[in-house]
A and B are shown apart, each in its own frame.
Chain A
């Protein structure tokens, strides 16, 4: 093996040196996370900008819904009122229980 003037011997030497360094410095995201707070992990810190941008998009939509359409809370949605008046009667009605509620199952 002789790639661009590096003999196999030199290559292995380099590899060895590399390996020694590697045993001290792991790549950025590698290894188990000891941090208890995701947002302070290396991955978490990289994600902050993206998370904040999308969150603020969501709160912007809250403002639009309130400012332009006068609906801050769910019961203020006239279509919700219509849904209950025409169909589901009221929250926790028998019909609501059968279509909008569920149960869970232990998986052990």
Chain B
């Protein structure tokens, strides 16, 4: 079934920046073990950045400068030769320390995959029992789906502000929960459209390393993980009645790039806000696999617990449908469109209404999805926009693709000023985070012929 992935302990954050890494960041999170590599070249075929060195038959290695830490090579290496930096021991120790409140920030895609590590079928939904397992292990829960809802409010509003600014408006009144606020949108004019999503750290690093010209297009909204960390140590500390410095936040992610993201030096906003030195918003990250390893070490099997733990309106746990689909390609887009639809039209359909389904933006297993969404405008907006309807044009890049194959045509349009879109979602991993580099590994099946081939090439 699933395969155990080899892990190693890192050397900690960089003291000084090197190449495409800054001081404080983690370097070399993904590496190829020379001893186990047979030179089959599969990894090169899935790498989005061409970071893997070596031809067929050679020992392969990763050019860390170009690597965006997505872990696709790890997921797909048929020989388990790719290894991941792991912080399981650190979290285990923190859990034993009674003074520390350890907070688990659980990503959407973890709940449809972690069961596989305990013998369940792929896709088995694991929410109540995952919470129960984590609480038994001593964690407080901050469901990252709640943070995904926060992300939509911020990133969706940002998009509306940009669209309004580019339509020539100076102010945009928006109504939320029966309350009116007026956004001053003029300053958003300096940000070009389309807006790109920013919740995939591999994609963000891809932009920073390969396409810095795209930086102004990226949404300024942090990823859900980072919003969760910053919120946990401020508002969360207040609600839980604990000192922020005694909170240890752990991202539980389907993703290896999230390990890198948490180490980015600017992610100490709680520290800045509280004027207390030296706190990271997210202290460390465990992948789905790492969490399974930790739970096994503590003899906790979530699949033996009850899924029927009730989902009550509890802070940091309650989440919307829009939030949970963040884990699949097109989900961030659909959640943003649901929100924008409500704000612009003033309508609130019944929750099961097909009006909330925007099937056209779902990535499924298409390399790119795009759609034009007609949004009826409420009266107030009809005046300011001078139209009855707004056509929102969106695009979803479902995996950057080998050497950027899925992404490049879309980016080329943006860079040449020909992009028709308002909003573009990019997820590094094909299918979305559900197929992320931190998820349980199902080894590719080698044919008998393949096996003979490699057995043979080892002898000669």
> Does B338 make an interface contact (CB < 8 A)?
yes
Given contacts A15-B456, A27-B40, A62-B325, contact A81 B157 (CB under 8 A): no
B352 lies within 8 A of A56 (CB): no
Given contacts A66-B321, A77-B319, A102-B220, contact A53 B122 (CB under 8 A): yes
> Which one of B40, B266, B406 lies within 8 Å of A102 (CB-CB)?
B266
Given contacts A30-B56, A73-B356, A99-B270, contact A79 B314 (CB under 8 A): yes
Q: What's the Cα separation between A83 and B406 when bound, in Å?
A: 37
Given contacts A58-B328, A59-B325, contact A29 B402 (CB under 8 A): no
> Does B29 make an interface contact (CB < 8 A)?
no
A55 lies within 8 A of B218 (CB): no
> Does B80 make an interface contact (CB < 8 A)?
no
> Which one of A39, A43, A74, A85 lies within 8 Å of B366 (CB-CB)?
A39
Query: Which secondary structure dominates chain A's binding surface?
Result: helix
Q: Which of chain A's residues 8-45 have a Cβ closer than 8 Å to chain B? A: 15, 18-19, 22, 25-33, 35-39, 41, 43-44
Q: Report the nearest B residue to A65, measured CB to CB.
A: B321
Q: What's the Cα separation between A82 and B19 when bound, in Å?
A: 43
Q: Which of chain A's residues 47-78 have a Cβ closer than 8 Å to chain B? A: 47-78
Q: What's the Cα separation between A30 and B338 when bound, in Å?
A: 42
Q: Report the nearest A residue to B177, measured CB to CB.
A: A81
Which of B123-131, B243-251, B383-391, B418-426 touches A?
Answer: B123-131
Given contacts A36-B401, A91-B157, contact A75 B113 (CB under 8 A): no
Which of B95-103, B226-234, B371-379 touches A?
Answer: B226-234
Contacts of B181 in A (CB 8 A): 90
Which of B5-13, B132-140, B148-156, B290-298 touches A?
Answer: B148-156
A98 lies within 8 A of B153 (CB): no
- Per-residue 0/1 for B210-239: is the Cβ within 8 Å of any A Cβ (1 yes, 0 no)? 001001001011100011001100110000
A57 lies within 8 A of B45 (CB): no
B434 lies within 8 A of A28 (CB): no
Q: Which of chain B's residues 416-453 have a Cβ closer than 8 Å to chain A? A: 430-432, 434-435, 439, 442, 444-447, 449-450, 453
Which of B81-89, B163-171, B201-209 touches A?
Answer: B201-209
Contacts of A96 in B (CB 8 A): 154
Contacts of B108 in A (CB 8 A): 58, 61
A76 lies within 8 A of B320 (CB): yes
> Does B23 make an interface contact (CB < 8 A)?
no
A61 lies within 8 A of B208 (CB): no
B365 lies within 8 A of A39 (CB): yes
Contacts of B222 in A (CB 8 A): 100-102
Q: Report the nearest B residue to A92, measured CB to CB.
A: B157
Residues of chain B touching chain A, judged by Cβ–Cβ distance below 8 Å, are 19-22, 40-42, 44-46, 56, 76, 78, 108-109, 111-113, 121-125, 127, 146, 148-154, 156-158, 161, 176-177, 179, 181, 183, 198, 204-205, 207-209, 212, 215, 218, 220-222, 226-227, 230-231, 234-235, 266-267, 269-270, 272-273, 311, 313-325, 327-329, 331, 335, 338-339, 341-343, 348-349, 351-353, 356, 364-367, 399, 401-402, 405-406, 430-432, 434-435, 439, 442, 444-447, 449-450, 453-454, 456, 459-460
21 intermolecular pairs with C-beta atoms under 8 Å apart: A18-B456, A29-B41, A29-B444, A30-B40, A30-B41, A31-B56, A35-B405, A38-B405, A46-B444, A46-B445, A47-B435, A54-B113, A54-B434, A61-B112, A62-B321, A63-B352, A65-B321, A73-B341, A80-B150, A91-B158, A92-B158
Kindly list 12 other residue pairs between chains A and B, CB separation below 8 angstroms, not including A61-B325, A66-B356, A92-B161: A38-B46, A43-B76, A47-B435, A50-B435, A51-B434, A54-B109, A62-B325, A64-B321, A71-B318, A71-B351, A85-B177, A87-B234
Residues of chain A touching chain B, judged by Cβ–Cβ distance below 8 Å, are 15, 18-19, 22, 25-33, 35-39, 41, 43-44, 46-88, 90-92, 96, 98-108
Closest 8 CB pairs of A and B: A57-B112, A53-B123, A106-B212, A54-B434, A57-B123, A51-B431, A91-B157, A71-B320
